[in-house]
A and B are shown apart, each in its own frame.
Chain A
Amino acid sequence: MIGVGKIKQYSNVLDKPLSKGKQEVSLSAFAFLFSELVQYNQTQVDNISELERSRLEDAGYAVGARVLELLCHRDKGNRREMRLLGILSFVHSTVWKVLFGKVADSLEKGTEHEDEYMISEKELLVNRFISIPKDMGTFNCGAFVAGIVRGVLDSAGFPAVVTAHFVPVEGQQRPRTTILIKFAEEVLVREARLG
């Protein structure tokens, strides 16, 4: 019977055992919520880049920072990745799998710049039900996911600039989304020192 105190009361959220993360909600519940997030933030900005950069990314960053903490604690025995490739593959597989139910389609190193990496997804979960009006140009709701990635990386000690871009795919009607990660110089210097 609900409402008779079956669930134990905890005076402090930290006393409560951490859930295993197997609970689910319907995709449409998330899609409705995400659409409200985007619509609300649209009312708070004057232009697209502000909407992507300082609003959606900011919301995602808050999620990413918490995801890192949660996963390191629950799945990795309070350890986190120290090396560049380790953290990238953590984002590409572990984080992706928990948040989006699958490993990301690809993780590549940029060909032109040493400090750039790309995570690509054919159909990013947050873009599933999104179509971009013509007057909004290159706007990509994946900025939220870029924010998540930046939140994870930054909190793990790998500051980076992370952006989301549509990339047309030959023979496909919808473009894929590429999350471009450009690490701060200090990260690469440290990485080189570690050898």
Chain B
Amino acid sequence: MPPVAPRSGDAIFASVERVNAELFTLTYGAIVRQLLTDLEEVEEVNKQLDQMGYNIGIRMIDEFLAKSGVSRCVDFKGTAEVIAKVGFKMFVGVTAFVTNWDADGTCCSIVFEDNPLVEFVELPDTCQGLNYCNILSGIIRGALEMVSMKTEVTWTRDMLRGDDAFELQVKLVKQIPEEYPYKDDE
């Protein structure tokens, strides 16, 4: 079969089944609320949200590759562009863009304003340390790990804390070489 041409995020988003974003928003809110009640410490909640994101990311990458027709990205730059342009659009219907590259091309920022997770949300004084959208950073970390890139993802801007946009800094820590041949029997 010839390789499928990469599709734009908009085209994929238009073709997949969708649900009302409010159901998504409120369900996410219910999760965060449960975590805050169960774990009490804001730092623990951040960790758990990141872990949940990671769990999603390692599975979501399969659907992403299957539906997007994106082939191997030559470098980290290409990868970041694909996450912002195709990944964000295809799953949550928002547009993001990549900026703030460092000199050696291993660290950049993904910036976006629309974010269905935070509709109706305001951080109370007791939760100022909460990275409310931490699930997103976990997703990116998990998904990239499945394509041999070990990354660190951190929030540098957060609209819930009064910034003018959401900004995720993605830092490539290590590119794990793929090993051939695969040994099936191990």
Contact = CB atoms under 8 A, between A and B. Distances in A.
A116 to B, nearest CB: 26
Given A2-B96, A24-B93, A37 B31 contact: yes
Interface string A1-22: 0111111010011000001010
Contacts of B116: 23, 25
Contacts of B19: 24-27, 30, 100-101, 125
Measured as residues with beta carbon below 8 angstroms from the partner, the interface class of chain A is: 35 or more
A60 B92 contact: no
B52 A40 contact: yes
Contacts of B26: 62-63, 66-67
Most A-side CB within 10 Å, residue of B17, B35, B60, B119: B17
Contacts of B29: 62-63, 66
Contacts of A67: 22, 26
A35 B57 CA distance: 13
A6 B111 CA distance: 13
Contact of B21 (A2, A4, A25, A36): A25
A70 interface: yes
A162 B111 CA distance: 42
B16 A62 contact: no
Most A-side CB within 10 Å, residue of B90, B91, B111: B91
Contact of A13 (B92, B99, B120): B120
Nearest to B13: A26
Measured as residues with beta carbon below 8 angstroms from the partner, the interface class of chain B is: 35 or more
Interface in B22-78: 22-24, 26-31, 33-35, 38, 48, 52, 55-56, 59-60, 63
A30 B27 contact: yes
Contacts of B97: 2-3
B164 A3 contact: yes
A184 interface: no
A4 B19 CA distance: 29
Contacts of A33: 24, 27-28, 31, 56, 135
A28 B111 CA distance: 23
Interface in A117-172: 125
A99 interface: yes
Contact of B20 (A4, A40, A99): A99
Interface in B82-121: 90-93, 95-97, 99, 111-114, 116, 119-121
Contact of A36 (B17, B31, B38, B112): B31
B55 A30 contact: no
A82 interface: no
B30 A21 contact: no
A41 interface: yes
Contacts of B120: 13, 66, 70
Most A-side CB within 10 Å, residue of B21, B24, B30, B113: B30
Given A21-B22, A33-B31, A36-B56, 5 more contacts: A3-B111, A21-B20, A27-B18, A30-B24, A59-B34
11 contacts: A3-B99, A7-B114, A26-B90, A27-B19, A33-B56, A63-B23, A63-B26, A63-B29, A67-B26, A98-B23, A99-B23
Interface of B: 13, 16-24, 26-31, 33-35, 38, 48, 52, 55-56, 59-60, 63, 90-93, 95-97, 99, 111-114, 116, 119-122, 135, 159, 162, 164-165, 167
Interface of A: 2-7, 9, 12-13, 19, 21, 23-30, 32-37, 39-41, 44, 55, 58-60, 62-63, 66-67, 70, 98-101, 125
